[in-house]
C-alpha cells in the first residue's frame, strides 16, 4: 500500500513539474512574431525596446515617442492599432490633501490623481503652438524648412531630424548608398568580422552599429542570423557589407557613407539627416544630398520633422 501511494505521489509531482514547464514555455515571448500588423521600422523599434503589446495601451504618447525610431507618424500608426486604455484605474494619493484657506477656492480636492493626459499629446500646448507656425498647405524650400524645424522643436534633448519620403514611379530606388557631406546623427561604430567578433557574438554581445565582412566569413556568421537579423546588423551583399575589401568599406561607412532603403511593403523611406543641434547649413546640405540621390522625379512627397515635432512639407523643384 505504501509503495502504491508513493508511486501515485511521484506521478502527481511529475505532472505538476510538467505543468509548470508548459506554463513557463507559454509565457516566453517570441519578439520576432510581434507587431506584424505594423510597418517594419515601427515594429523593429518596439521589439528592440522590448515593449509588449499590452503595454502599448497604458503607455503615454511621450513614453512612446521617447523610443528610438518612434516619431509622430509612427505614433499615429501605433495608436490606430493599439488605442490607449482610458478606463484603467487611477492611483489614489496616500497623503492628505493640504488645507485650503477660506476664500482661495471652493473646489474640494479628492486626493485622486487624474489619469496621465500625455495620451492627448497631439493637442498639448507645446505641439499646438508648434503646429500654428506651419502652413499645412505650403511646400517650403529646404532653407526655410530647416529654420522652421528648429523653431518648432519642442523637446528638451538633442532631437533627431528625419526626412520622410513617399516614393513614386517604377524607377524609384528601394535601396541606395550615399555619403552625407556632414555627419548625420551620432557617429556609427563599424566593426569587421574577426574571430574576436565571433567570440563576442557567441556570448550575445553586440558593440557595433555596422558589421562588415569578407565573403569567406559568411558561413561562420550564419549561426548568428537570428541574433543579428532582427537588429538589421546581418551583413549582406545588397547592403554593401559583404565585400572582398572589408577594410576599405569600413572606412567609407565610418566617414559617413550610409545605406538607405525603403520599407519592405510600402514605398516609404525614413532617413536621418542630422540632429537639431547641428548648424542649419549642415542640415541643408545633407537634405539636398539626399534629395539629389533619390531624385525629385521619384518622390511624391517629402516631409521634414524632428522628434515629437510636427512635419514640414518640402518643396522638391
All domains of the chain in start order, with CATH: 2-81 (no CATH), 136-184+258-313 (3.30.190.20), 190-254 (3.40.50.790)
Cβ pair 65, 308 in contact under 8 A: yes
Supply 283's cell numbers: 542640415
- pLDDT number for residue 84: 64
- pLDDT number for residue 119: 41
- pLDDT number for residue 128: 82
- pLDDT number for residue 169: 77
C-alpha span between 54 and 108 (Å, rounded): 35
pTM (two decimals) = 0.54
Cβ pair 35, 53 in contact under 8 A: yes
For residue 295, what are the contacts with CB-CB under 8 A and spacing of at least 6? Answer: none
SS3 56: helix
- pLDDT number for residue 304: 92
C-alpha span between 231 and 185 (Å, rounded): 18
For residue 187, what are the contacts with CB-CB under 8 A and spacing of at least 6? Answer: 254
Cα angle for residues 31, 40, 175 (degrees, 5° grid) = 135
Series of mean pLDDT values for 10-residue runs along the chain (317 residues): 51 62 59 82 84 82 75 79 58 42 43 44 71 87 92 86 88 82 76 85 85 87 84 82 86 78 84 89 92 89 88 87
C-alpha span between 228 and 208 (Å, rounded): 11
Supply 18's cell numbers: 510538467
- pLDDT number for residue 55: 85
- pLDDT number for residue 252: 80
C-alpha span between 32 and 157 (Å, rounded): 30
Supply 304's cell numbers: 521634414
**Cell 473646489 appears where?**
107
SS3 117: helix
Side-chain-side CA neighbours of residue 56 (13 Å): 24
Give first-to-last CA distance, the chain, whole Å. 93
Cβ pair 48, 109 in contact under 8 A: no
Phi, psi (deg, nearest 5) at residue 194: -145, 175
Amino acid at each position: 500500500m505504501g509503495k502504491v501511494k508513493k508511486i501515485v505521489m511521484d506521478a502527481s509531482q511529475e505532472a505538476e513539474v510538467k505543468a509548470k514547464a508548459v506554463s513557463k514555455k507559454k509565457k516566453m515571448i517570441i519578439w520576432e512574431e510581434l507587431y506584424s500588423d505594423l510597418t517594419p521600422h515601427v515594429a523593429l523599434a518596439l521589439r528592440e525596446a522590448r515593449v509588449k503589446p499590452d503595454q502599448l495601451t497604458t503607455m503615454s504618447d511621450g513614453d512612446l515617442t521617447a523610443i528610438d525610431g518612434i516619431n509622430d507618424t509612427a505614433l499615429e500608426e501605433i495608436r490606430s492599432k493599439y488605442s490607449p486604455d482610458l478606463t484603467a484605474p487611477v492611483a489614489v494619493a496616500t497623503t492628505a490633501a493640504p488645507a485650503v484657506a477660506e476664500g482661495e477656492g471652493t473646489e474640494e480636492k479628492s486626493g485622486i490623481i487624474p489619469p496621465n493626459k500625455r495620451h492627448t499629446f497631439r493637442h498639448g500646448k507645446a505641439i499646438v503652438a508648434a503646429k500654428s507656425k506651419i502652413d499645412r498647405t505650403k511646400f517650403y524650400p529646404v532653407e526655410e524648412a530647416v529654420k522652421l524645424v528648429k523653431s518648432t522643436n519642442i523637446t528638451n534633448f538633442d532631437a533627431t531630424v528625419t526626412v520622410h519620403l513617399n516614393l513614386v514611379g517604377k524607377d524609384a530606388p528601394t535601396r541606395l548608398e550615399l555619403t552625407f557631406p556632414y555627419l548625420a546623427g551620432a557617429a556609427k561604430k563599424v566593426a569587421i568580422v574577426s574571430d574576436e567578433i565571433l567570440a563576442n557574438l557567441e556570448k550575445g554581445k553586440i558593440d557595433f552599429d555596422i558589421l562588415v565582412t569578407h565573403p569567406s566569413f559568411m558561413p561562420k556568421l550564419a549561426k548568428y542570423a537570428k541574433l543579428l537579423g532582427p537588429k538589421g546588423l546581418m551583413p549582406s551583399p545588397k547592403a554593401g557589407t559583404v565585400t572582398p575589401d572589408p577594410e576599405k568599406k569600413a572606412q567609407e561607412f565610418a566617414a559617413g557613407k550610409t545605406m538607405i532603403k525603403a520599407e519592405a511593403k510600402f514605398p516609404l523611406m525614413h532617413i536621418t539627416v542630422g540632429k537639431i543641434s547641428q548648424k542649419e547649413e549642415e542640415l541643408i546640405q545633407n537634405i539636398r544630398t539626399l534629395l539629389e540621390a533619390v531624385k525629385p522625379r521619384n518622390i511624391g512627397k517629402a516631409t521634414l520633422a524632428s522628434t515629437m515635432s510636427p512635419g514640414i512639407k518640402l518643396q522638391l523643384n
